Chain A
Amino acid sequence: MEITELMIRYGELSTKGKNKKIFIKKLNKNVTKKLKKYDQVKVSYNRDRMHVKLHGENAEPIISELNDIFGIQSFSPIVRVEKSVEEAEKAVIELIRKNYTPGMSFKINTRRSDHSFEYDTNDINRMLGTAVEDAMADIHVQMKNPTVTVRVEVRNRGIFISVDTIQGQGGLPVGSSGKGMLMLSGGIDSPVAGYLSMKRGMEIEAVHFHSPPYTSPQALKKAKDLTAKLSRFAGEIIFIEVPFTEIQEQIKKEVPDEYSMTITRRMMMRLTDEIRRKRNGLAIVNGESLGQVASQTLESMLAINAVTSTPVLRPLISTDKNDIIDIAKQIDTYELAVQPFEDCCTIFAPTRPKTKPKLQKVEDFEKAIDVNGLMDRALEGMKIEKIGIETDENKEREKNFADLL
């Protein structure tokens, strides 16, 4: 028994009407890109299904790759056996055993494209059904709502059988919903916000503010490593490092302490928006959750958001911290995110920031700093790189470690 193919169902995609074609193409591109490293694998698709033919590649790692791709509702491993009823019986029994639950019911659903085969679909249904019932007590055939449906297809090249359905991530293929800029600090929340945006088909580019020497090289590396973690859902993610030292120093010098946080955030928002405009993005995404910290009250959001009319998306706005942590653990960003490095949000944090800043006052205080000049210089020093799952630095580190271990 050998898994020869993984059959992918689109799910929500199927309801997208005219756009469907574009979505499927995008998904095909994402799947193909992700499976590129498996030489023998061939991906093909039609309106209803996508087929990943393994041609001898091991199914297990490929299944786990497919688990990371958005736009896949579910997929089924398909097993091929020789064209004989005995072989089919053996395979079906083994597959049912793997999916066994006490008191379960099942149904065999046969299709036959090879009409020269000695039995017709009814014969095959009956023979395989009887074989399973004989092999296992406490299991019965049921035509309506069975626990498990076994799909059997008799083709020229053999009999193809599938039982398991593996739930995919759901969502929409990354890139099918346009591009947004993710404000990535290095905390727990922003990677989760990025993940959720990608899940709805958004392509994201990560924008990170870096204030050496107040923030460390490790903090920058942590942000890149978090991006690398997210890239498993997208292939590669653009990482944009924006120098922020001068801005923070000037704000610290010129702006009253309790308003410095608000104005710092406004500068970040302006810069992100400008980068978005230059790079043809359509939205800004951040990890804000209502009431979590001083900058995440509605009053603060109003004062900060006032610098732009671009949609600022906050996927976590009504999510509790514990639920955010659960997702972070699930996407493997939590452990990285809790490493204790100062980031640019904490290092200049005033002792008592305004939780209810007044927009008018904010605008008045902001006059003390050279907004345009500061922005120009920051944008000039911007560094852009592509980050995949394996950054060069990490690859080298892992190689060094592997040599030692």
Chain B
Amino acid sequence: MIYFDNSATTKIDPSVLATYRSVSEQYYGNPSSLHQLGEQSRQLLTQSRKQIAELLDVSKEEIYFTSGGTEGDNLAIKGTAIEKMDYGRHIITSSTEHPAVIQSMEQLEALGWDVTYLSVDEKGQISLEELEQSLRKDTVLVSLMAVNNETGSLQPLKEVGELLELYPSVHFHVDAVQAIGKIDLDLNESRIDIAVFSGHKFHAPKGTGFIYVKSGRKLAPLLSGGGQETGLRNGTENVPGNVALAKSLRLLMENKEETAQKLLDMRKSLLAYFADLDRVTVFSPEESAPHIVCFGIKNIKGEVVVHALEKHGIYISTTSACSSRKKDNIHSIREMGYSLKEAESAVRISWSQINTLQEVDAFKSAVDTVYSQLKSIE
């Protein structure tokens, strides 16, 4: 079995799972309880938060645990909208965001907010000019993803940050779910105010995640309750999940350079292979994330390729897993200027450091078979 769907989710790391289990068994006290058991849980939770903050070079008061990327994006967007509704109700985002972002925007639009969706070029990038023209006096939020989950496209975050230096009151939210450990993300120096992370994308348990909120920036909570996470995200803390998350992030960051090389090697090998297949279109732009390639075989629906490869024990996706059971599963590729037919052929392979070059080779020979087999039905 070859798992090449790591942008959908990853397999939990065995040592991370061991941590999850030990914490569940030994530190089951509620961190809010006054007794010793609760106190230990609280300290362990604090230590986890500290570890995450140190790994990202920010302060621990800027890290809030969540249940993952969808919650983080909702909190960043609606939390900003509610917090700043008296100052303005205009939000800017791009047309290729994750559904967690797009759906939040649509919900706000229905409630009277005004949302500008920036178009993207063939590389999947927004234009700074268009962003600059879109900024208004009542703009409260700019929301962009660091790495596109379907194609691996990168947004020019640094340049956007520089532009936003002139708009100090605007919140700059970055969905970094696909970016962490894959591309450099400097939270400390950059203009980024809010960044959203999800644990299960880097071998931590499902249902874990955190959001970075720069000190001084305020969000309204979406979940009200007992005052956990300094009142921003209420609800009894997921101690085992959060500890496991902190460990997973450490493993990710400690091996960052080694991982980066490995991911790039696999990408290079795949791109060289696709370049020789004349009926294959690679949708991922040249400069994009090192762990995602989106491609399509001419006139063959992505779904067909997914199932054909599955017969060979290889698991990939038709672009994003979050929306792949729905019709609008290819919105990023369409926005990049491809025809519906081209976009419908798209599949996404996404690998991680636990994959190997041998697996890439096995993938290639499986594609060879599928490729010639599908030629007949073209």
Partner of A404, one of B19, B34, B35, B36: B19
A207 vs B204: C-alpha distance in the bound complex, in angstroms? 46
Are A401 and B44 within 8 A (Cβ)?
yes
Q: How far is the CB of B31 from chain A (nearest CB, A)?
A: 12
Are B43 and A404 within 8 A (Cβ)?
no
Q: Looking at chain B's contact residues, is the secondary structure mostly helix, strand, loop, or mixed?
A: helix
Q: Is B236 on the interface with A (CB-CB < 8 A)?
A: no
Are A405 and B243 within 8 A (Cβ)?
yes
In this complex, what residue of B is CB-closest to A335? B46
Chain B interface residues toward A at CB < 8 A: 19, 22-23, 34-36, 39-40, 43-44, 47-48, 51, 243, 246-247, 250
Known A216-B34, A218-B34; contact A404-B39, beta-carbon cutoff 8 A: no
A187 vs B44: C-alpha distance in the bound complex, in angstroms? 23
Q: Digitize A373-405: 1 where CB-to-B-CB distance is under 8 Å, 0 elsewhere.
A: 000000000000000000000000100010011
Q: Is A348 on the interface with B (CB-CB < 8 A)?
A: no
A216 vs B37: C-alpha distance in the bound complex, in angstroms? 13
In this complex, what residue of B is CB-closest to A340? B34
For A, the interface residue count at a CB cutoff of 8 angstroms equals 9
Are A217 and B36 within 8 A (Cβ)?
yes
In this complex, what residue of A is CB-closest to B23? A404
Q: Is A365 on the interface with B (CB-CB < 8 A)?
A: no
A397 vs B27: C-alpha distance in the bound complex, in angstroms? 12
Residues from chain B with a CB closer than 8 A to the CB of A405 are: 19, 47-48, 51, 243, 246-247, 250
Are B51 and A218 within 8 A (Cβ)?
no
Are A404 and B250 within 8 A (Cβ)?
no
Q: How far is the CB of B198 from chain A (nearest CB, A)?
A: 19
Residues from chain A with a CB closer than 8 A to the CB of B35 are: 216, 218
Residues from chain B with a CB closer than 8 A to the CB of A217 are: 36
In this complex, what residue of A is CB-closest to B19? A404
The 4 A-B residue pairs whose C-beta atoms are closest, nearest first, are A401-B47, A404-B19, A405-B247, A218-B39
A405 vs B50: C-alpha distance in the bound complex, in angstroms? 11
A401 vs B51: C-alpha distance in the bound complex, in angstroms? 11
Residues from chain B with a CB closer than 8 A to the CB of A397 are: 40, 43
A404 vs B23: C-alpha distance in the bound complex, in angstroms? 8
Residues from chain A with a CB closer than 8 A to the CB of B44 are: 401, 404
Residues from chain B with a CB closer than 8 A to the CB of A216 are: 34-35
In this complex, what residue of A is CB-closest to B38? A218
Q: How far is the CB of B164 from chain A (nearest CB, A)?
A: 27
In this complex, what residue of A is CB-closest to B243? A404
Q: How far is the CB of A337 from chain B (nearest CB, A)?
A: 15
A-B contact pairs, 16 of them (CB 8 A): A216-B34, A216-B35, A217-B36, A218-B34, A218-B35, A218-B36, A218-B39, A397-B40, A401-B43, A401-B44, A404-B23, A405-B19, A405-B47, A405-B51, A405-B243, A405-B247
